[in-house]
Structure 1
C-alpha cells in the first residue's frame, strides 16, 4: 500500500521478521507487487495468519498467489495500522482504557509487548483497524476525573 520500499530493505526486513525457519526469497512481480517464497508451510501459515505486517512503516497486504492476482484497491478498505499514543495518563494505561482510546480511531486489534508489560509508559503502540475513507482525527482530547489531556498526531502511516 503506497510506494514500496527499496528491494534490499524488503528482503532484509522479511528475513528478520519471518526467516527463523530459513531464508525468505523475495522477487519483484509487478509494480508494488512481490512474490515471496517461504522455506516451510508453517512459516507461510504463521505469516499469512499473523500480522498485520509493516515494512518501513508501510502496511503490507499478503495473500496466496494465484494467476489472476492484481493490485488490490484499498480506497474503501479498513486497514490495520500502528498508532503511537504519547502523553497517555497512567490511569488510562489499562486494557480497558487503551481499548477506549483505540476505539476513537477505529477498531483496536492489539498492543505491542512493551505496552502490555508497561515498559514504555511514555509511548503506547496500538494496532488499530482504521477506515481511511473517513476523515482522520489528528488529536485525541481526553477528559477524565476532572482532568484533560491532548494526544497529538499518532498514525505511523497514512495513505
Structure 2
C-alpha cells in the first residue's frame, strides 16, 4: 500500500499544480448548495442544516486524528511510517496543526486497525489516535473510543454477529467480534468491540425477549472503559481529577499540588 506523499511538506509537486483556467473548468462536485448569509447576534452567520453537514462529513467516515504531545516527526516521515504498515488500501496523511495529523483511511479494516492500537510509536514520538467526527476540534479530544464489551452467560444461539450487534446497539456502534465469539469456542461469554461515547453513562443491561415468550436481562460489562474529562475535553481522567479544573474540591486541588 502506498500512502499519498507530496514532494515536500506543504508544497505541491509540479504535476499537481493547476492553471487558473483549469481551476474554473473543474466540474462542481459539492453535495450541497451555497448557503444564504444570515445574522447571529448582530453579526454575519452561515447556518447549515444537519443533513447538509452530514453530506459534507460523509467522505471522512473512516478518518482518525493522530495527536502528538511532545514534538512530532516531519509529515514526510509520518507518511513513510504509515506506508510501512502494509495496510489494505490507501491512507492519506495531512497536517492539521503542530500537534495533530488527519489520517484518512479508504478501508474500514485499516481504520479499525489503526484506531484499536490507541498509541503508536513513530520513532521517539508517541502518537495517540482518536476517531474524527464532525464535532472534532483540535482543542477538544473525541469522547468516542473502541471498547471491548463482555456479555457473560449469553445463550449460545445469540452469538450470531447480527444478533450481537442488535443487542449492543443501545450501548454504541458495534465494530466486530473477537475470534472466539465468532467461532463459538468460548460459550461462557460473548465479546464484542463497540464504539462507545465514554462521556456518557454506559447502558448496564439490555432486555432480551422472544415475541410471546419470556425474556431476560443481559448484563453489559465494558473492559477497561477509559475516563473522559468534561472540563478540559481530554481522555484519561475525570473532571474531578483534572489539574485544570479550578472548581473541583479544595482537597483534590491540594492533593494534585503535592503530587505535581
TM-score (norm 2): 0.37
Cα RMSD over matched residues? Answer: 4.0
Aligned counterpart, 1:11: none
Superposed CA deviations along residues 72-96 of structure 1, whole A, max 9, x for unmatched, are 744x521111101112122322122
Task: State the 1:98 CA deviation.
Answer: 0.6
Partners of 2:119 and 2:128 within 8 A in 1: no
Q: Return the offset for 1:123.
A: 1.1
| Contact 2:173/2:194 (8 A) holds in 1 | yes
Query: d(CA) in 2 for partners of 1:48 and 1:62?
Result: 14
Q: Deviations over 1:9-49 (max 9, x none)?
A: xxxxxxxxxxxxxxxxxxxx858x999x9989433747974
Q: Secondary structure at the match of 2:192?
A: strand
Match of 2:186 in 1: 120
Confirm or deny: 8 A CA contact 1:87 1:150 kept in the other structure: no
In structure 2, do the counterparts of structure 1 residues 87 and 149 end up closer, same or farther at CA, with 3 Å as the change threshold? Answer: farther
The answer as to whether partners of 1:110 and 1:128 remain within 8 angstroms in 2 is: yes
2-structure distance, mates of 1:128, 1:82: 6
1:53 is matched with 116
Separation in 1, partners of 2:82, 2:128: 25
Note if contact 1:48-1:63 (Cα within 8 Å) is conserved in structure 2.
no
Q: Is the 8 A contact 2:149 2:221 kept in 1?
A: yes
Q: Establish whether residue 152 from structure 1 lines up as the match of residue 194 from structure 2.
A: no
1:139 paired to 2:200: no
Using the size of structure 1 for normalisation, the TM-score is: 0.57
How is 1:23-102 mapped onto 2 (pairs within 5 angstroms)?
Answer: 41-43=83-85, 45=87, 49=111, 50-53=113-116, 60-62=118-120, 73-74=140-141, 76-102=142-168
Aligned residues, how many? 121
SS at match of 1:137: coil
Gapped regions of structure 1 (runs ≥ 5):
1-28, 55-59
The residue number in structure 2 matching 1:130 is 196
- The Cα shift of 1:70 comes to 8.7
Q: CA deviation at 1:127?
A: 0.5
